[in-house]
Amino acid sequence: MNFLRNTFAVLTGLAVAAILISLGIRLNSSWITYDEYAPFQRWETLLKSMEHKPYFFVALLISSGIAATVGGVVTAIIVKYAKVAYAILIGFILLFMAMLDIIIFPYHPTFYKILIFLTFFPFAWMGGKITEVIYERKKRRQRKLNK
């Protein structure tokens, strides 16, 4: 049963992170000029048009950090054991997908390629650690009330 719960937790954390990254990209309406939601069909043309506009990639890094943190928190809340480890797994999967994006579409600036490594793991770890600290405080309060 733990396998299903952990799998559900990872998929839920990834879905939350993907939604937050998508919302971060759609933050500025001048970046996304098409009406229908088709993120993968037009991603290459979007990257080509933003190649010399670093503020798009800064917003993408910020939304990726927030998404990794929130995705890590969601995953850590759902799993029963090894909360930080599963949150870091979210960071690893997100980093893997970002690396695929950089390899497939070579229109990312160099600072983005470097900083993406420093974004996903620390922020996902922080999300798991936040949840772990909250749960530990809750356990301590319960122990004090039971004494």
DSSP string, 22-39: HHHHTTSTTT---SS--T
- The Cα–Cα gap between 15 and 144 comes to 37
Phi-psi region of 53 (alpha: psi -120 to 50; beta: other; left: phi over 0): beta
Domains of the chain, by residue range, sit at 2-146
Q: How many residues does the chain have?
A: 147
**pLDDT tens, N- to C-terminus, the chain (147 residues):** 789 999 999 999 999 999 998 888 877 666 665 555 555 667 777 777 777 778 888 888 999 999 999 999 999 999 999 999 999 999 999 999 999 999 988 888 889 999 998 999 899 999 999 999 999 999 999 988 887
pTM for this predicted structure: 0.86
- How many Cβ atoms sit within 10 Å of the Cβ of residue 26? 13
Query: Which string of DSSP letters, residue by residue, matches 74-114?
Result: HHHHH-SS-HHHHHHHHHHHHHHHHHHHHHH-----HHHHH
- What pLDDT score was predicted for residue 25? 80
pLDDT, tens only, 82-121: 999 999 999 999 999 999 999 988 888 889 999 998 999 8
| Six-digit token string for 61 | 């890094």
